[in-house]
Amino acid sequence: MQIPIPSDPLEDMIRTLNLDAAQGARTTEDIFIGPSQWMPHGRVFGGQVLAQSLVAAQRTMDATDGDDRTPHSMHGYFLRAGDINQPITFAVDRLRDGRSFSTRRVQAFQSGQPIFSMIASFQVHDPGLEHQDSMPLDVPAPETLPSAAEIMGENPHPVAQYWAKARPFDLRHVGSPIYFDVDPDQRVPHQAVWLKALGALPDDPALHRAALAYVSDYTILESIYRAHGIAWTHAGLKSASLDHAMWFHRQPKVDEWLLYVQESPSAQGGRGLALGRIFSRDGKLLATVAQEGMVRVPELRE
């Protein structure tokens, strides 16, 4: 099967995040339309609609008198699987604009049905208390680790080719990845992944935040699978993101190496919870992520 690998995956992501404002929008909402990227399973990538929703919300932040409000948190629910063959419509409600905070609700639609719903909060920069968790110290440099493209080689499977060539980020696991199997010595509910955009991005802070939201959905559930020796290729494995929360602490630069530290505190009832912290290479905590996912393993459901 020949898959449609974009000639420049990073440029393809940027194009996808460049939403069009819809003409004749309803007066109570701001309406935007965005394309969908190809995925081997035919469903819209959760990180894509998450990032597009953030872009839509950011586009309604009208800076006045130097009042530049940036997102500090977003909480979203994945309601239906999106169709990669259809564009997505984003409706933004301006719920509140206070003196320091603004709140936006974003609904993403395909064929008139909501596929994703999110509330995001924005804040004017405000000096205050400062502390953060420390970045792990015993982590090998990303340059010493193999890329997904190097691990996949010329594996012809469409999913392997997507992992190797179609993603706009270079992802390098600390320790062995779980694409095809799980190292018995690394069956633990935690992992770390280095990540970096495949090339330079425009110097636009809003784009870098959206790109960080995009990439935050790639490996966040893997700590759940890893703990039980479940690889992505496990026969009959069914998984899907249910919700996604993200807190932005400091401004990211996604075209520089970032470390995504992940852990799963619990799995039960066909669901698993995963937490993540994203650090800059020099140790700044940039964002915190939480996601619950559906995880169904066929032999446990018989």
Catalytic residue numbers?
217, 241, 291
Tokens of 21: 């404002």
Burial 28-43 (b: 16+ CB within 10 A, else e): ebbbbbbbbbbbbeee
Is residue 48 within a helix (H) or strand (E), and if so which, with residue range?
Answer: helix 46-58
Cβ-based neighbours of 21, under 8 Å, separated by 6 or more: 30, 31, 32, 59
Look at residues 254, 269, 285 and name the one whose alpha carbon lies nearest to residue 47: 254
Tokens 């004017």 locate to: 124
Burial of residue 137 (CB within 10 Å: 0-12, 13-18, 19+) is exposed
Instruction: Provide the CA 111 distance to its chain's centre, in angstroms.
Output: 24
Q: Under a CB-based contact definition with an 8 Å cutoff, are residues 211 and 170 in contact?
A: no
Specify the length of the chain in residues. Answer: 302
